[in-house]
Amino acid sequence: MPVRVESLSRFSTQKQQKKISTAVADGNVDIIIGTHKLLNKSFKFNNLGLVIIDEEHRFGVRQHDLEIRGGGELLGSEQSGLMQEIGYNLYTDLLERAVNAIKSGQQLELDRPLEQGTEINLHTSALLPSTYLPDVHTRLIMYKRIANAPDVQSLDDIQVEMIDRFGLLPDSAKALIAITELKLKATKLSIRKIDFGESGGTILFDDQPNLDPQQLINLIQSKPSHYKLEGEKKLHLLSEIPEFSARCEFLERLLKGLM
């Protein structure tokens, strides 16, 4: 079953507030986030898994009198089951996203992939779109499996399974798989971040990267028009590569040369 997260704040219209309040009272919402107004006697809860009180200047979780009013435990049995299935870190990541969304007055984004290992931004859409995987629960599980894949073969197996279950991958899903493959290799080299767009980019290394410095020096000296080192931790990528697939190939060669 998908997990439904809703928020009530000063950014919500009266129509939105009424719609969400009705959904909560009908037991159709799993997690509700809002101000102390959620604790008013007039606000009805039914089969709610979690309530988060955010006063905009501080954050807290309160149980208050929800048991008496039908709210159940702070972490209900259904949400506990979900947490066990997708993992505590992912579950808390979802809550953090929800809290940040209400603080900024934005919609909660569940299409955004999980961050793990090297941070890579290739300036393209890399996600599992809701049009491909409409069920939020399934989408989160697939994100977790992709993020936790130990090697390229495992990613290939996941890709084959997804095609078999859901159909051919859209471009954004293919990009997600490709970037995750790059993450596996970059993480082994202790690369902190890669930012690479059409007009070039940068690679940021950890304080103690897992690579031979001489290999990096040789690479720069062999192609000075492609690379420029700034300090000990930042490598500038000088090549202009408009196509996403070509940028991936460029990084594949670079990472292979540093291994």
- Domains observed in the chain: 5-104 (no CATH), 119-258 (3.90.1150.50)
Q: In what order do the strands lie in the sheet with 200-205?
A: 119-121, 191-197, 200-205, 234-237, 227-230
pTM greater than 0.85 (yes/no): no
Q: Which of 118, 156, 159, 119 is nearest to 142 (CA)?
A: 159
- Cα 49 to chain centroid distance, Å, stands at 22
- Measured CA to CA, the distance from residue 4 to residue 32 in angstroms comes to 9
Counting other chains too, the contacts that 215-219 makes at CB distance below 8 Å and 24 or more residues apart are: 215/257, 215/258, 216/258, 219/254, 219/257, 219/258
Q: Which of 142, 135, 136 is nearest to 114 (CA)?
A: 142
Give, as one character, the DSSP assignment of residue 110. -
Per-residue pLDDT of the chain (259 residues; tens, 9 = 90+): 456 777 776 666 788 888 888 888 888 777 777 766 666 667 777 766 556 555 443 333 433 333 323 333 333 334 444 444 444 445 556 666 665 665 566 655 555 555 557 888 999 988 888 899 888 778 878 888 888 888 999 999 999 999 999 999 999 999 999 999 999 999 888 888 999 999 999 999 888 878 888 888 888 888 888 889 888 788 999 989 999 999 999 999 988 888 7
Q: Are 66 and 52 in contact (CB under 8 A)?
A: no
